[in-house]
Structure 1
Amino acid sequence: MDIVTRSDGRRGVEVHGFDPVAATVDDLARLRQHLYHDKIVVLRAQTLAPEQFIALGREFGTPAAYYEPMYHHPEHELIFVSSNRQSEIGQVGVPKTGAFWHSDYQFMPDPFAVTLFYPQRLPSESRGTYFIDMAVAYERLSPRLRDAIEGTYCRHSARRYVKIRPSDVYRPLEDVIAEVERKTPAQRQPTVLTHPVTGERILYVAEAFTYEIEDASGNPLPKSLIDELLSESGQLDPTFEHPNIFLQGYEPGDLVMWDNRTLIHRALHNPTGEPAESFRVTVHDEHPLSAEVYA
């Protein structure tokens, strides 16, 4: 196994010659360290069956099935499928997922720690994911904004981007909205997390899910404060040229893992309609979302 730190301006590390069957305890420990400290780990030239993909996820934590079954792989519920592919049994997974800035499960009580992303079919163009390192975003905030958010909390909800399920057809919209609010009530998290492994301070705000900021007593603060944070971090830049934004491209056989606490991401969708399909396994690790005291 050869781990290469990128030197061409791209983020993270590339791993060549990784075999999940032959990987030692030390190999996996090295990958975990790189995952937390370098944020992105790209395993090149992988050919994993779904069972092997899930097994690899278990080396980084406890995989969890997405809460909506329509995203599940037809034979493996722990695999989330984004796909525009039709099979003999109908639509496989859900097309055009994640076209907004977010962290996986940010709207749930226990957000995921690590995301493993494994493309299965790639279009000829526009294949990749945009990322923003929110620890870097926090470091780049002005002293005024840092002071303004110290000790504050944000509320996160999925309500803006919930997709209509086949079972929702012909249901009153009011009933659908009420079910969304019941199944995924808004969650309150610190505006600034402390990474439990690296100790980095992370701005935990995302365009897709963050809708309110409040002080420690629960008093709402101006919405303009969220807008400033989103703008400063790069999430409101429609050109994707903000210095905080970087693009992770994909080649056949790539398996990409990232630190879901620190990185937010946004899918790059292909406009051609070519067949595209990706598998995702998301895991909880043994650490809390945030820790003020860390090793």
Structure 2
Amino acid sequence: MRIDTRTGDRRGVEVHGFDPADAAADDLATLRRHIYHDKIVVLKGQSLDITEFVALGTEFGTPVPYYEPMYHHPDNELVFVSSNLDRDTGRIGVPKTGAFWHSDYQFMPEPFAVTLFYPQRLPTASRGTYFIDMAEAYRRLSPRLRDAITGTYCKHSARRYVKIRPSDVFRPLGELIAEVERKTPAQRWPTVMTHPVTGEQVLYLSEAFTYAIEDASATPLPETLLTDLLTESGQLDDRYEHENIFLQSYEPGDLVLWDNRTLIHRALHNPSNEATESLRVTVLDEYPLTREDAA
């Protein structure tokens, strides 16, 4: 196994010659360290079936199925499918997922620790994922904003981006909204959390899921504060030119792992709507979301 640190606009590390079937315990421990400290690990030249993909996920934590079954792979509910393919047996997964800034499961009681992303079908033109390092975003914050968010909390909900299921088409909108609030009630996390492994301070919010900011006593703070944080972190830059935004593109055989606590991401979908499909496994690790939770 050879690990190369990526240079230029590319972040994280590339791993060559990694075979999950005979990976040594030391190799897996090395990959875990790189996920937390380098944020992105790209395993090159992978060819895994569904069972092998899930087995690899278990080496980094406990895989958790997505809460909505329509995203599940028919052979294993632990695999999330993003796909625009039409099959004779029917559609598998959901098309055009994740085209907004977010951290996986940020709106749930246990947000995921590590995401494993495995493209299966790539369009002719580049398809990739944009990322923002939210530890770096916190370091770049103006002193005014750092002071303003000390001791504050953000509230997160899936309400803005829940996809309508086929069975929902004729249901009243109010009924659907009530179901979303019941199944995924809003979560409250520190605006700045301490990564349990690296000790970094991470700005924990996203354009997709974060809808309010408040002080320690739950008194709402101005919406302009949240807007300023989204702006300074790069999430409102619709040209993706902010200095903390970077693009991870994909080649056949790539399997990408990233630190879901620190990185937020959004999908770059091919505008031509060429056939595309990707698989995802998301895991919880042995650590709390934030170091403060262990106190």
TM-score, normalising length: structure 1: 0.98
- SS of the residue aligned with 2:30? helix
1:71 equivalent in structure 2: 71
Q: Which residue is 1:37 aligned to?
A: 37
Identity of aligned residues (%): 74
Runs of 4+ in 1 over 4 A off after TM superposition: none
Question: Tell me, what secondary structure is at the counterpart of 1:256?
Answer: strand
Matches within 5 A, 1:165-204: 165-204=165-204
Q: Give 1:152's aligned amino acid.
A: T
Structure 1 CA distance for aligned equivalents of residues 127 and 225 of structure 2: 33
**Count of residues paired in the alignment:** 294
In 2, distance between residues paired with 1:209 and 1:126? 27
> What's the CA shift string for 1:146-198, capped at 9, x where partnerless?
01001100000000000000110111111111101100010000000100000
Which residue identity is paired with 1:98? Answer: G
Gaps in structure 1 of 5+ consecutive residues: none
The answer to whether the 8 A contact 2:158-2:209 is kept is yes
Counterpart-to-counterpart distance in 1, 2:247 and 2:9:
11
Give the Å deviation of 1:7.
2.0
Structure 2 SS opposite 1:57: helix
Q: Distance in 1 between matches of 2:129 and 2:79?
A: 18
* Distance (whole Å) between structure 2 residues aligned to residue 89 and residue 76 of structure 1: 16
Q: Report the aligned-residue RMSD.
A: 0.9
Matching of residues 147-226 of structure 1 within 5 Å = 147-226=147-226
The 8 Å contact of residues 126 and 250 in structure 2, kept in 1 or not, is answered as no
Aligned counterpart, 2:117: 117
Q: How does 1:22-101 map to 2 (within 5 A)?
A: 22-101=22-101
Q: What amino acid is aligned across from residue 142 of structure 1 in structure 2?
A: S
**Is the contact between residue 16 and residue 43 of structure 1 (CA under 8 Å) also seen in structure 2?**
yes
2:246 match = 246
| Equivalent-residue separation in structure 1 for 2:136 and 2:44 (angstroms) | 26
Report if aligned partners of 1:42, 1:255 keep a CA contact under 8 Å in 2.
Answer: yes
Preserved contact between residue 196 and residue 293 of structure 1 (Cα < 8 Å): no
AA aligned to 2:76 is H
For 2:180 and 2:8, how far apart are their aligned partners in 1? Answer: 43
In structure 1, the partner of 2:141 is 141
CA distance in 2, matches of 1:209, 1:261: 14
Structure 1 letter corresponding to 2:268: L
Q: Shift in Å at residue 24 of structure 1?
A: 0.2
How far residue 9 of structure 1 moved from its aligned partner, in angstroms, is: 2.9
- What TM-score, normalized by structure 2, do the two folds share? 0.98
Write out aligned runs for 1:248-263 (5 A). 248-263=248-263
Letter in 2 for 1:52: E
Distance 1:293 1:187, change over 3 A: closer
Shift of residue 240, structure 1, vs aligned partner: 0.2
Once the two structures are superposed, residues 224-280 of structure 1 have per-residue CA deviations (whole angstroms, 9 ceiling, x without a partner) of: 000000000000001000001000000000000000000000000001111100000
Amino acid at match of 1:17: G
Q: Which moved more, 1:170-179 or 1:94-103?
A: 170-179
